[in-house]
Structure 1
Amino acid sequence: MNYFLAGDIGGTKTLLQISAADGTRAPLLQKSYASAGYAGLAEILDEFLREAGTTDITSACFALAGPVSGRRVKLTNLPWKVDADALAARFAIGRVALINDFEAVGLGIAALQPADLLTVQAGNPQAQGVRVAVGAGTGLGVAWLSWQDGSYAVHPSEGGHMDFAPADATQYELLCYLQQRHGHVSYERIVSGPGLVAIFEFLRDSGRAIPSAPLVAAMQEGDFAAVIAQFASHGETAACMALELFISIYGAFTGNLA
C-alpha cells in the first residue's frame, strides 16, 4: 500500500495526516503536535511515521505559515527552515511539495458545503468574483482567489504584515503603545492570538480596563489568548473590551482587503 502524507504547519500547531494514495480509505493516522516543542518538522515526522508504522510514502504536501522560496520555507513565527528536497531524501518520499498555508486555505474553499458556512453580513455575491481569505491564528494569513480558466487560482500573500492604520483615537494610542515594544506595527501584531493579548495588555496598562481577579489568576495558568476569549464568552468586562477592539480591527482589515 502506498500512502500520501499531508501537513498543516503553523506557529502553534502542526497537524499531520497519512492516507492511502488512491484516496479510497479513511486516514491511517491523524495527529496534532505543539510546534514549539520540536526543533523542526523532521523531528515531528520521525515521531509521526514511527507511530503510523509505515514508510511507504509516495508523495507529501506541507502547507506552512511562511513565504515559499523555491523548495524552501522559513516559517514566520517559528525558528524553523523546511527544505522539501531534504525531507524527500531523509524519509525516502518520491515527491514533496511545499505551499503557503493560505494557499491551502484558498484551495480548500472549493470543497466547502453550505453547512460549513456562516454568513456574518449578507451581501450580493458575484459569480466568479474575486475572493479573499483571511485568518487570524499565531499570525495573520491572507490569500486572494481569482477566476481563471474555469476555476479559482489562489494567490497567497504576506498581507498580514501590512502597516496597521488606526481608525480612531483609541486605536492610535494602541499603535503608539505597540511601537514602544516593536517599532514597526503590522496588522499581525494586533489581529492574531498574540495580538489579542497585546490589546488586553494595552487596555489594562492604560487604565481603560481592570481585569477581574479570576481572569488574572487564569492567565497565570494557561494560554493567554484562549483565557481572554473564554472569559469574554462569560461576560468578563476587561476580556470583552479586548475582544471587541480585536474584532473591530479585524473587521476593518478584512473590509479593506475586500
Structure 2
Amino acid sequence: MQGHASDLVAMDIGGTHARFALARFTADGGIELDEPVTLKTSDYVSLQTAWEEFERRVEGPVPRRASLALAAPIQGETVRLTNNSWVIHIGALDTQLGLEKVTVLNDFAAVAHAVARAPEDQFLHLTGPDKPLPENGTVSVIGPGTGLGVAQFYRVDGTYHVQASEGGHANFAPVDHIEDELMKRLRHLHRRVSVERVVSGPGIVGIYETLASLEHRSVEKLDDRTIWERGLDRSDMLAVNAIERFCMALGSASGDFALTHGASAVVMAGGLGYRIRHVLHYAGFGERFRFKGRYEPLMASIPVKFITHPQPGLFGAAAAFQREHLSEKA
C-alpha cells in the first residue's frame, strides 16, 4: 500500500536534527501535520538510514511522495548539507527511498512558505508597529539555529513567490568596540567571519569568551548549550550578558537583511528565537534593528514578528510540494 493520494512525507533536514512528519492536504487546500519524528543527524550516516528509522516508527503505509527541506543551497543534482556530513543525491531519491514524486528546497525557503501561509494568530509581535504582514510587498524570514537561515518572499495580487538565500554567510559587521573585539577573536579562528559565526547557536561561545576577556576574567571552556542554559536560567551573569549581546547582533543583522531585501516586514523563526523571545524585548534587539543612520525612520516603520507554528519547516515543505504538484487542487 502507498497511502492516500493526498498524503506525503514532509522532511526538514538541518545541521543537528532531521524531522519527518506525515502530511495531508484537506479539501479546502489546508495542510495537516502528524506529530513529527525527530532524529539526530549525528546518529545516522545518511538520509537513507534515517528514512529507514522513520519508516520503522510509522504505523501503517508510508506515502511514496515527499518534500525535503534541506539546510544547504539547492543547486544541481548533489546537495551537501552545510552543517552536517550528509550528501543528498536528488536524482537517486526515487530508488534510495522508493519515492514517486519529490519536491526539494532550501530549509529556510520552506520556512518562508510557512510564514506566507500562516494565519495572523500564529505570529508574536517583537518590535516596530504592531500590524499584520503586508498583503503586497516583501517579507524577510530569519532564523538563528545551528547556522543562520535567511530567505524572503514577495506577495502580490493574492499570491507569493519565495526566494531562498545564503544570507547567513554574508560578512559580519561590528557596530561597537565590543563587537570589534569579537571580530578580532573570531579572525584568529576563521579565515573569514560570516554573520552566522556570531548570530547562531554556536556563536554564543565567541561572544561569551570575548566578554570574559574584556573583563580580564578566566572562565572554564564551555560549549554553546551550557552557555545558553546558564544564561537563560540566569545562573551565570556573564552568560546572561552574552545572550543580551547576541540579541543586539541579531537585531543588527535582521535590520541589514530588511534593507537588502527591501522588506516591508521581518519574521523570525526557529526554536532558538522562541527561547529568547522575552529577552529580545529588552536586550537592544529593536534599537539595533532600527540603528541604520539616515534610514532609522524607515526601519521604525517595519513590523518584526515571530512565527509560533511548532514546525514551520515541515509545514512549509508540505506547502511547497502543494504549490509545485497540486496547485490546480490547492
* TM-score of the pair, normalised by structure 2: 0.69
1:203 Cα offset (Å): 2.0
Moved more, 37-46 or 107-116: 107-116
Partner of 2:10: 6
Q: Any idea what the Cα deviations from partners look like across 1:79-136, whole Å, max 9, x if unmatched?
A: 1111222221122210122100011001001332333211111326654121100000
Partners of 2:135 and 2:158 within 8 A in 1? no
Partners of 1:73 and 1:81 within 8 A in 2? yes
Partner of 2:69: 63
What SS does structure 2 have at the residue aligned with 1:175?
helix
Aligned residue type for 2:230: F
User: Does residue 16 of the first structure (1) align with residue 24 of the second (2)?
Assistant: no
Partner of 1:165: 173
C-alpha separation in 2, matches of 1:58 and 1:6: 11
Moved more, 88-97 or 117-126: 117-126
User: Does residue 129 of the first structure (1) align with residue 128 of the second (2)?
Assistant: no
Partner of 1:92: 98
The equivalent position to 2:159 in structure 1, one of 151, 157, 172, is 151
C-alpha separation in 2, matches of 1:35 and 1:25: 26
1:25 Cα offset (Å): 10
C-alpha separation in 1, matches of 2:140 and 2:9: 27
Partners of 1:15 and 1:31 within 8 A in 2? yes
1:151 Cα offset (Å): 1.2
Distance 1:26 1:251, change over 3 A: closer
C-alpha separation in 2, matches of 1:21 and 1:254: 33
Distance 1:26 1:63, change over 3 A: closer
Partner of 1:255: 255
- Give 5+ residue unaligned stretches, structure 1: none
Partner of 1:237: 237
Distance 1:252 1:27, change over 3 A: closer
RMSD: 2.5
User: Does residue 74 of the first structure (1) align with residue 80 of the second (2)?
Assistant: yes
Aligned residues: 249
C-alpha separation in 1, matches of 2:43 and 2:144: 21
Aligned residue type for 1:231: R
The equivalent position to 1:181 in structure 2, one of 185, 189, 209, is 189
Partners of 2:66 and 2:101 within 8 A in 1? yes
The equivalent position to 2:51 in structure 1, one of 45, 53, 61, is 45
C-alpha separation in 2, matches of 1:163 and 1:127: 31
1:209 Cα offset (Å): 5.8
- Give 5+ residue unaligned stretches, structure 2: 259-330
Distance 1:27 1:135, change over 3 A: closer
C-alpha separation in 2, matches of 1:80 and 1:94: 22
Partners of 2:149 and 2:168 within 8 A in 1? yes
After TM superposition, the runs of 4+ consecutive aligned structure 1 residues lying more than 4 A away are: 20-29, 53-56, 208-211
* TM-score of the pair, normalised by structure 1: 0.87
C-alpha separation in 1, matches of 2:34 and 2:245: 42
Partners of 1:85 and 1:96 within 8 A in 2? no
Partner of 1:142: 150
C-alpha separation in 2, matches of 1:62 and 1:7: 5
Moved more, 111-120 or 156-165: 111-120
C-alpha separation in 2, matches of 1:243 and 1:25: 35
1:30 Cα offset (Å): 2.5
What SS does structure 2 have at the residue aligned with 1:105?
helix
C-alpha separation in 1, matches of 2:125 and 2:26: 35
What SS does structure 2 have at the residue aligned with 1:96?
strand
Aligned residue type for 2:163: H
Distance 1:33 1:254, change over 3 A: same
Aligned residue type for 1:173: E
C-alpha separation in 1, matches of 2:248 and 2:31: 43
Identity %: 32
Partners of 2:135 and 2:156 within 8 A in 1? no
